[in-house]
Amino acid sequence: MAEHVSRAVVRFAGDSGDGMQLTGDRFGADAAHQGNDIATLPDFPAEIRAPQGSLGGVSSFQVHFADRDIVTPGEELDALVAMNPAALKVHLSSLKRGGVVIIDESQFTKRNLTRAGYQVNPLDDGSLGSYQVVSLDLTVATKLAVADFGLGRKAVSRTRNMFALGLVSWLYSRELTPTLEWIAAKFADKPQIRDANTAALRAGWNHGDTTEIFAVRYEVDPAEVPAGCYRQIAGSHALSLGLVTAAHLAKVPLFLGSYPITPASDLLHQLSRMKSHGVQTFQAEDEIAAIGAALGASFGGALGVTTTSGPGFALKQEMLNLAVMTELPLVVVDVQRAGPSTGMPTKTEQTDLLQALFGRNGESPLPVLAPRSPADCFDVAIEAARIALTHRTPVVVLSDGYLSNGAEPWAIPSVKEMEPINVGFATTPNSPDGTFLPYLRDPETLDRPWAVPGTPRLEHRIGGLEKSDRSGSVSYDADNHDTMVRIRAEHIARIPVADAVVDDPSGSARVLIVGWGSTWGSITAAVRRVREQGHAIAKVHLRHLHPMPANLGEILHGYQKVIVPEMNLGQLTMLLRSVYLVDARCWSRVRGMPLPVGELTDHLVHEIKETTR
């Protein structure tokens, strides 16, 4: 029996060696190929080699797909694939009552049950009575499916995920063609592995089709989206493409200096594959060398970029200060993760805002931007590069683990329709006596000229010591230092920032919700639910965290209550209270996961009702 549903949330979970990331990614790609809107949430173990079968070693990938616009990877699961007892233990609480749980019963051995903390086998004690349980021996079923290909026991086990993918694909009426084509391309030079994975995938689909183990089969129609060419894209890839596009628009080379760190390493991996687009990547020996190389590339006339996460960002601060003092373009991408210290390196958080603004010694202002979704990472990367190149300043982009790893459909833009970036290198002396003054500024923007080393007659001095206004000579004069500190602050304050846009369709809302970064999805979903319940609420989301939009103060003072949901203990809230003298209230969760939409919705409804009493 087929049942049409508007949306579904499916999570694949198992040991870190069970291929759950690949399985979930392929299921999401297939959903996108069928025209659904999608949002994904990969979740990795924090330990590199957690003990097999342990709770700490569980890896999962969640896919939310729908026939309409969605903005989060979902919360309550419709279906859970649990490849071992630990996966069931960790993720069962997320499965809604009556939801489908597919279990590989071959892994529910006494040893694995003990490792997962089960005293009794949950398949036998009735604890799964509230769910649609599909328990089958995936190992045996897969072994039978690939018996003709001569694989060893370990290789056979590695194809279990394809059997599970085929089974879930049948359950949700997914076509196998995209994944079959992917398998053929991926393992073109390994025909035995190619054919075995193909057979396992088809066997899983056929198992669902012939055994009648499911009471209902589900169908999700394509979503209505504007016409265009779309692709599934993760935030890390979108950021990489945005940086390359910005360098193309500016007609300058792109140089990446980076040191591997979770979850920012994928940016290094992506950009290292783009040499044909004029990209140079340098894997440095440490974080400090990485940003130093990037800043040196900027001094030489390139778009210098460095990527990192929270701990590495802390190490980069001194060199970032040098970029502030020399006023050279530099883009620093901080893919935030849970801290402090090593913290939870594979979990998401947005706790580096204050570090980005105030983490350096001295008065060292710089622009800070934050993308709101995986696809938005592309636009923010271009905007950050545009600001850096045209205004001669380092710029910080605050992404996070959820944005970097999560994926959604992306309408591929036309580069031909994008506005070029005018770098405007200095080519001639700028003083009456024929000398070059590196700190002689544009009277409106306060941008200083950028002279590429080796340009005739443009010899000049830069460095970390305080500069004399206009000439750039080393100066210890007290009045000059005061002047330069104020100029640097005003220079950043004058960078053009688009006005904030308020989403308040009723015009009668008393409560305003303010967000930044990846909280956009959870906030948007919660606001939709609040309005569906008949309540008025306004929303504004910030891309520019420094400088902030000029109209933000007026907006904040136009509402009775201001609520700021954050994945920290109130960093933006603190800024809004101090800068605009408004009684902003923080609502926070720091669990290493996106903000829970249900909890946020309940809180907003409560606050709205409080304003009417």
Residue 27 has pLDDT above 90, yes or no: yes
Q: Is the pLDDT of residue 357 over 80?
A: yes
Tokens of residue 311, six digits: 């701990």
Q: How confident is the prediction for the chain on average, in pLDDT?
A: 96
Q: Which of 406, 297, 409 is nearest to 36 (CA)?
A: 409
Of 513, 502, 518, the closest CA to residue 398 belongs to: 518
User: What torsion do the CA atoms of 360, 364, 366, 370 make, to the nearest 10 degrees?
Assistant: 30
Q: What is the pLDDT of residue 46?
A: 85
**Angle, helix 20-33 to helix 160-171, in steps of 10 degrees:** 30
User: What residues contact 610, with CB distance under 8 A and at least 6 apart?
Assistant: 561
The pLDDT of 59-77, averaged and rounded, is: 97
561-596 pLDDT, tens digit per residue, is 999 999 999 999 999 999 999 999 999 999 999 999
Report which of 418, 376, 383, 359 is spatially closest to residue 541, judged by C-alpha positions. Answer: 376
The DSSP call for residue 57 is G
Nearest Cα residue to 447 out of 423, 483, 475: 423
Mutual orientation of helices 191-211 and 160-171 as an angle, nearest 10°?
A: 40
User: pLDDT tens for residues 477-519?
Assistant: 999 999 999 999 999 999 999 999 999 999 999 999 999 999 9
Q: Find how far residue 571's CA is from the centre of its chain.
A: 19
Alpha helices in 414-518 (DSSP H): 478-493
Q: Could you say which DSSP state residue 423 is in?
A: -
The 3-state DSSP class for residue 60 equals strand
By the 8 A CB rule, do 104 and 139 touch?
Answer: yes
pLDDT for 48 beyond 80:
no
In which residue are the tokens 């994945």 written? Answer: 567
- Please give the average per-residue pLDDT across 437-446, as a whole number: 97
What distances in angstroms separate CA 568 from CA 337, 352, 593, one per listed residue?
11, 9, 11
* Closest-CA residue to 406 (of 141, 21, 58): 21
Give per-residue pLDDT as tens, 125-180. 999 999 999 999 999 999 999 999 988 888 998 999 999 999 999 999 999 999 99
Q: What is the pLDDT of residues 601-612, one digit of tens each?
A: 999 999 999 998
Tokens of residue 214, six digits: 């499911």
How far apart are alpha carbons 244 and 378 in whole angstroms?
A: 10
Question: CB of 104 within 8 A of CB of 138?
Answer: yes
Q: Using 50, 70 and 90 to split pLDDT, how confident is the model at 327? A: very high
- Cα distance between residue 101 and residue 82, in whole Å: 7
| Phi, psi of 258, deg, nearest 5 | -150, 155
pLDDT-derived band at 36 (thresholds 50, 70, 90) equals very high
What span, in angstroms and rounded, lies between the C-alpha atoms of 115 and 108?
10
Q: How far is CA 560 from CA 15, 147, 317, 565, 608, in A?
A: 49, 68, 38, 17, 10
**How many other β-carbons are positioned within 10 Å of the β-carbon of residue 361?**
9
Q: Which of 243, 242, 241 is nearest to 254 (CA)?
A: 243
Residue 461 confidence class, pLDDT cut points 50, 70, 90: confident
Q: Domains of the chain by range and CATH?
A: 2-219 (3.40.920.10), 231-417 (3.40.50.970), 424-496 (no CATH), 511-611 (3.40.50.920)
In the structure encoding, which two tokens stand for residue 191, read together?
């025909």
| Band of pLDDT at residue 236, cut at 50, 70 and 90 | very high
613 pLDDT tier (thresholds 50, 70, 90): confident
Residue 49 has pLDDT above 90, yes or no: no
With a cut of 80, say whether residue 244 has pLDDT above it: yes
101: helix, coil or strand?
A: strand
Contact 334, 310 (CB under 8 A): yes
Structure tokens at 312: 């590495």
pLDDT at 274 over 80: yes
| Residue 509 Cα distances to 118, 405, 533, 580, angstroms | 50, 35, 14, 20
Question: Which residues lie across from 544 on neighbouring strands?
Answer: 369
553: left (phi over 0), alpha (psi -120 to 50) or beta: alpha
Using CB atoms within 10 A of its CB, is residue 463 exposed (0-12), middle (13-18) or buried (19+)? exposed
Q: How far is CA 360 from CA 298, 306, 321, 357, 393, in A?
A: 20, 17, 6, 8, 15
Q: How confident is the model at residue 47 (pLDDT cuts 50, 70, 90)?
A: confident
The confidence band for 531, taking pLDDT boundaries of 50, 70 and 90, is very high
Across 222-231, 349-358, 434-443, 528-537, least confident range: 222-231
Residue linked to tokens 């620093």: 332
Task: Sort residue 251 into left (φ over 0), alpha (ψ -120 to 50) or beta.
Answer: left
**Whole-prediction pTM:** 0.96
Residue type, 21: Q
Report CA-CA distances (Å) from 19 to 23, 104, 162, 459, 473: 6, 14, 9, 57, 59
**Tokens for 570?**
């109130």
